[in-house]
Chains A and B, each alone.
Chain A
């Protein structure tokens, strides 16, 4: 600390008293990162980018939005028609929600594939699941704000889930609504919460990053970093890789915003909310569809709600459900197959969530729901007892077994 690494005297002066520059230099510049990360490790920074995009466009939209049942729909259309660049900002925000979820879902499945939730990263994972929950709450309340038909009926259906709670359910729903149906009070509180929750997410993201930097990133072969030969400084290697990933991501995002802005939305949401008429097919936004399918798969109201929340709850305890000592699926031949089955199962659930709850769809969604819980509650704890994992390489620098491994390296492995 005596000899500052900064040349600029102003930076030096500030850093001596408030070491923000040292902190940034340490955590963003020199931060040692495994050198073998693949493109799936881009999605963390992309999620951060998406969060910032949503907050910035959201603040700007809130300057032009009116949270009142009589004006909300028209104020959104005023943004689309009269506010300078309003259509651009709103379409970025609207599609940004979908892209945020795409990025986060890929980020989660990457964690599942490479065992990133395992010790010592359990809290890192749990904070991540918490972010997902907060995102879902935020996205749901944001979808209500344009006050279209889907906004209104989505809000009605989802808040009614709480009525399944025995004894106090009805009171809770009335409390959520601030009235006897979804109305102006509901819209106002949803606006307030939709505004504030993203900042709570930022707080949890900071904790997520602190937990990440405690042990550093996991990596595709899932073994711990053995020394500096396994790592490279974050900058310039991962800054440029993240920039490349960001450009690719933005290309997809811009294509959606400029050429297919309503592809992931629903036409009914361009009809103003009407509490007297429910649209023929109400479906939630696509990112909720797998959970919606689980909800409908269970023939009992309370049961459906419990299973739906249970689907997220199992993620919280995943670090203790999975008994395998090997992180990466690359060395778990059987789990690897089940991983892909789980992914397909989730996509199937998403598809079933969009279909009417009748006939074959009900049966399929029950099978898919059963598999989901089988995977987490039975497969994860029991599979390690029957699975024979492949031998792990000695270190990241020497991923091929035996090949470049030196005698001393062999010796250390013996000791282990």
Chain B
């Protein structure tokens, strides 16, 4: 650059007033607002959200049986607990639990326990739904990946998982029909 044109530049530098700054600011705002649609398109689409809740009929589920339903692409465990299981879930002491929660907090209708069947450690699906499955030391569920043991209320009792099995939001539409999500 010759001295002539750089002095011209400096002169212009001083002239960059409100008009020029606001022009570039406007362009910046425009560019930033275009980013949102491009980001938001990765969020769940309308058809995915429409499938975000599912209804399950539990009338054919006998005492001691369990079913696994799919909800939002994940397994949801529903188990019809026996009186013995309910009793053990309610009476156990919370003192030495890693994540102390009472059974009443976790199971609104004591007969049916509803859990997201994903181990809170690293996301494996625990065993215990089928009659022949290993159910772990506490008779609930057992995660084969890293050995987490869950009790009849889905609470973590032994192993690496940090928290209890998640309870999805659900409600009873009638005596035997639940709506998950």
Measured CB to CB, the residues of A under 8 A from B are 30, 56-57, 60, 63-64, 78, 81-86, 88-89, 228, 232-233, 236, 240, 243
Also in contact, A56 and B38, with CB within 8 A (given A30-B1, A232-B5, A233-B1):
yes
CA distance in complex: A232, B9 (Å): 10
Say if the beta carbon of B32 comes within 8 Å of chain A. no
Measured CB to CB, the residues of B under 8 A from A are 1-2, 4-5, 9, 12, 16, 20, 23-24, 27, 36-38, 40-43, 45-48
Also in contact, A78 and B47, with CB within 8 A (given A84-B40, A233-B1):
yes
CA distance in complex: A60, B2 (Å): 46
Most chain A CB within 10 A, of B1, B24, B38, B48, is at B38
Does B1 contact A89, Cβ atoms closer than 8 Å?
no
Chain B residues touching A, majority SS: helix
Query: Which of B9, B36, B46 contacts A82 (CB under 8 A)?
Result: B46
CA distance in complex: A396, B83 (Å): 97
Query: Which of A60, A84, A233, A243 contacts B43 (CB under 8 A)?
Result: A84
Residues of A close to B2: CB separation below 8 A: 228
Residues of A close to B40: CB separation below 8 A: 84-85
**Whole-angstrom distance between the Cβ of A88 and the nearest chain B Cβ:** 6
Query: Which of A63, A64, A82, A243 contacts B27 (CB under 8 A)?
Result: A243
**Whole-angstrom distance between the Cβ of B43 and the nearest chain A Cβ:** 6
Residues of B close to A78: CB separation below 8 A: 45, 47
Sorted from nearest, which 9 A-B pairs have the closest CB atoms? A85-B37, A82-B46, A82-B45, A82-B47, A83-B45, A84-B40, A228-B2, A84-B41, A60-B38
Residue of B nearest to A88 (CB): B37
What 19 new A-B contacts, CB under 8 Å, besides A82-B46, A243-B27? Answer: A56-B38, A60-B38, A60-B41, A64-B45, A78-B45, A82-B45, A83-B45, A84-B41, A84-B43, A84-B45, A85-B37, A85-B40, A89-B38, A228-B2, A228-B4, A233-B9, A236-B16, A236-B20, A240-B23
Does B23 contact A243, Cβ atoms closer than 8 Å?
yes
Query: Which of A81, A85, A233, A243 contacts B41 (CB under 8 A)?
Result: A85
Residues of A close to B23: CB separation below 8 A: 240, 243
CA distance in complex: A243, B5 (Å): 22
CA distance in complex: A311, B4 (Å): 48
CA distance in complex: A85, B43 (Å): 10
CA distance in complex: A410, B48 (Å): 76
Residues of A close to B43: CB separation below 8 A: 84
CA distance in complex: A135, B179 (Å): 52
**Whole-angstrom distance between the Cβ of B10 and the nearest chain A Cβ:** 12
Residues of A close to B46: CB separation below 8 A: 81-84
Residues of B close to A88: CB separation below 8 A: 37
CA distance in complex: A233, B6 (Å): 9
CA distance in complex: A405, B154 (Å): 93
Does B5 contact A228, Cβ atoms closer than 8 Å?
yes
Residues of B close to A82: CB separation below 8 A: 45-48
CA distance in complex: A85, B34 (Å): 11
CA distance in complex: A228, B8 (Å): 13
CA distance in complex: A243, B25 (Å): 12
Residues of B close to A56: CB separation below 8 A: 38
**Whole-angstrom distance between the Cβ of B181 and the nearest chain A Cβ:** 18
Residue of A nearest to B44 (CB): A84
Also in contact, A84 and B4, with CB within 8 A (given A63-B42, A78-B47):
no
Does A240 contact B45, Cβ atoms closer than 8 Å?
no
**Whole-angstrom distance between the Cβ of A223 and the nearest chain B Cβ:** 20
Residues of A close to B16: CB separation below 8 A: 236
Also in contact, A236 and B45, with CB within 8 A (given A30-B1, A60-B38, A228-B1):
no
Does A83 contact B41, Cβ atoms closer than 8 Å?
yes
Does B41 contact A63, Cβ atoms closer than 8 Å?
yes
**Whole-angstrom distance between the Cβ of A22 and the nearest chain B Cβ:** 14
Residues of B close to A240: CB separation below 8 A: 20, 23
CA distance in complex: A232, B5 (Å): 8
CA distance in complex: A384, B45 (Å): 62
CA distance in complex: A86, B45 (Å): 9
